Amino acid sequence: MTAFRIGSPIDRREFLRHGGRSAGAIALGGGALLQGCGSNPTLPEPETRPTLRTPRDIDAAGALLAAGAAELDLGSHASRAWGYNGALPGPTLRARVGDHVQISVLNQLSENTTVHWHGLVVPTAMDGHPADAVPPAGSYVYEYPVVQRAAMNWYHPHPHGRTGQQVWRGLAGALIVADPAAERGLPAGDREIPLLLRDGLLDDSGQLEYRRRDSGMVGDFPLINGVPYPAITLAPALYRLRVLNAANARVFRLGMSNASRMTLIGNDGGLLERSMDVNAIELGPGERVDVLVDLSGEATGSRISLRCLRARWDLLEVYVSGERDQGWGAPSAFAPIPRLPVSPGARRREFRFEGHRRINGLEYHMDRIDFRVPRGDTEIWGLESSGGAPHPVHVHGASFQVLSRSGGRAQVFPWEQGWKDTVLLEDDERVEVAIRFDAYAGVYLLHCHKLEHEDAGMMLNFEVT
């Protein structure tokens, strides 16, 4: 096992001194929990944290998802929201490698929607492309074989110009592909916990508010699996956390409060070749990581938290209690990941993500094909940021391998090894990836996953031929 550290851990006192809790907040009339300064009330960390919820599991082989109204429980009160089957996040869809998935989506909203299966390689007509809009009261059956590795993927709307709004209101859920042979020895059942991270913002009356901002919609309190500032009681044992950044625009920097390391085992495209200890993980919108957290050495009664070291939020507080389970030898090596064969003459393409709405000078047009890619060829794509970062760049139709990052942070991070479908570009960075479209011909998307950038036009259509 190799170790990797960025920055240095901060202790709890230090953390609080720098604003881990919203200090000096002013109580507004009405909800005791709604506090803040200025006109925008925020939701402070409560004295007693609510219990983390885990979305219900449903089998993706014959699932029904209704996109419609839902309620967000904020402790002191509820907010109107949207959800799948009345829940936000929606149910966790479960499938196995090789399964045939069939999901019927019912649109109970008063606007068009589609569902995109982020991370899954599916035929064009099943990809949730904005051109395949499902009108209000309409339905669509998404059906496809699961052709890639075990991984945590997710689903969310992808309608033309309305993705940010729909995801922010609550339409998102996890889709976890399992492979029992490849995942043997890893914590499972209630030792495997999906964590969908996002932020929220409330209006004056305490309702979840969406404001379309060019720079990206960010909120001022965390929601983990739809619960603000949750807590969970876990045994002194080993846990597997499946973490997704489902925020519209916020980048999370994950770390543990007690400086105990997280063991990184996987990312967007599944398990890495070997595990690696890290003390921080930077996760842009759309990215996922798979980490092991070992609580077996923790005293009963101790409190640990999973933090965002950027926002200085305690995202999830963990109370350690229950039966100790020490002898867990989780595997530290997994299947080898073959490198895409990059020949010296490989075709190269360059994409500049400019400001808030353009790629290579172009704004998205739903009916325009911006470039064509021959199926089966390994290509090198250069992804470059030119103002307006962070830009989490996402490609539909294939996963890619990150080759290098120059400028800015100037390195490829441990969570960027193996297979990725989303990679974070900070200002002045250039990332090179190797990519090959094997599975299907058809029209797919390349876009910024800061959803306000996507909606403003930072997206291209390309056709695999």
x/- map, 264-303, ligand C2O, by CB under 6 A? ----------------------x-----------------
Q: Could you say which of 149, 356, 358, 394 contacts ligand C2O (CB under 6 A)?
A: 394
Rg over CA atoms, the chain:
21
* Choice between 94 and 352, CB closer to Cu ion: 352
Q: Which is nearer to Cu ion, 436 or 450 (CB)?
A: 450
Residues whose CB is less than 8 angstroms from the CB of residue 275 and which lie 6 or more positions away in sequence, other chains included: 1, 263, 264, 265, 292, 330, 331, 332, 333
Q: Residue 126 carries which side chain, given as an amino acid letter?
A: M
Among 42, 453, 457, 459, binds Cu ion (CB under 5 A): 453
Measured from the CB atom, is 198 or 261 closer to Cu ion? Answer: 198
Q: Which of 10, 89, 150, 158 binds ligand C2O (CB under 6 A)?
A: 158
Q: Which is nearer to ligand C2O, 239 or 415 (CB)?
A: 415
Nearer to ligand C2O, 447 or 450 (CB): 447
Q: Site for ligand C2O (CB under 6 A): how many residues? A: 10
Judged by CB under 5 A, how many residues of this single chain contact Cu ion? Answer: 4
Residue in 156, 242, 261, 420 binding ligand C2O, rule: CB under 6 A: 156
Contact assessment for residue 452 and residue 213, using Cβ atoms and an 8 Å cutoff: yes
283 binds, among ligand C2O, Cu ion, none (CB under 5 to 8 A by kind): none
- Distance of alpha carbon 396 from alpha carbon 111, whole angstroms: 24
Nearer to ligand C2O, 223 or 247 (CB): 247
391 binds Cu ion (CB under 5 A): yes
Cα–Cα distance list, 13 to 19, 60, 440 (Å): 10, 45, 53
Rounded CA gap, 371 and 460, in Å? 8
Closest to ligand C2O by CB, 405 or 449:
449
Q: Which of residues 430-449 bind Cu ion (CB under 5 A)?
A: 448
The Cα–Cα gap between 446 and 442 comes to 13
Rounded to the nearest whole angstrom, what is the least distance from the CB of residue 98 to ligand C2O in the complex?
Answer: 23
DSSP string, 42-81: B-PPPSSPPBP--PPEEEGGGEEEEEEEEEEE-SSSEEEE
Candidates 74-82, 205-213, 301-309, 442-450; binding stretch for ligand C2O (CB under 6 A):
442-450
> In the set 42, 72, 84, 116, which binds ligand C2O (CB under 6 A)?
116
Binding partner of residue 447 among Cu ion, ligand C2O, none, CB cut-off 5 to 8 Å per kind: ligand C2O
Show Cβ contacts of residue 358 under 8 Å, excluding neighbours closer than 6 positions: 457, 458
Considering the complex, what minimum distance in angstroms separates the CB of residue 438 from Cu ion?
27
CB contact at 8 A, 111 and 243: no
Q: What single-letter DSSP state applies at residue 465?
A: -
Per CB under 5 A, the segment of 49-57, 128-136, 307-315, 384-392 that binds Cu ion is: 384-392
β-strand 151-157 against 173-178: which pairing, if any? antiparallel
Distance in Å, CB of 244 to Cu ion, minimum: 19
Nearest Cα to Cα of residue 307 among 291, 297, 318: 318
Q: Which does 394 bind (CB under 5 to 8 A by kind): Cu ion, ligand C2O, none?
A: ligand C2O
Q: What is the DSSP string of 299-350?
A: PTT-EEEEEETTTTEEEEEEEE-S---------SB----PPP---TT--EEE
| 450 sits near Cu ion (criterion: CB under 5 A) | yes
The two structure tokens encoding residue 302: 């101790």
**Closest CB to ligand C2O among 283 and 320?**
283
CA distance 288 to 172: 14
- 173 contacts ligand C2O (rule: CB under 6 A): no
CA 187 to each of CA 1, 57, 233, 331, 418: distance values in angstroms, whole numbers, following the listed order:
18, 17, 16, 10, 21
Residue number with CB closer to Cu ion (195 or 359): 359
CA dihedral 271, 276, 280, 282 (to 10 degrees): -40
Span from 46-54, 299-307, 312-320, 444-452 in contact with ligand C2O (CB under 6 A): 444-452
In the list 118, 169, 250, 391, the residue contacting ligand C2O (rule: CB under 6 A) is 118
For residue 354, report the phi and psi dihedrals to the nearest 5 degrees. -110, 120
> Residue with structure tokens 């297979």?
419
Residues near ligand C2O (CB under 6 A): 116, 118, 156, 158, 286, 394, 396, 445, 447, 449
Residues near Cu ion (CB under 5 A): 391, 448, 450, 453
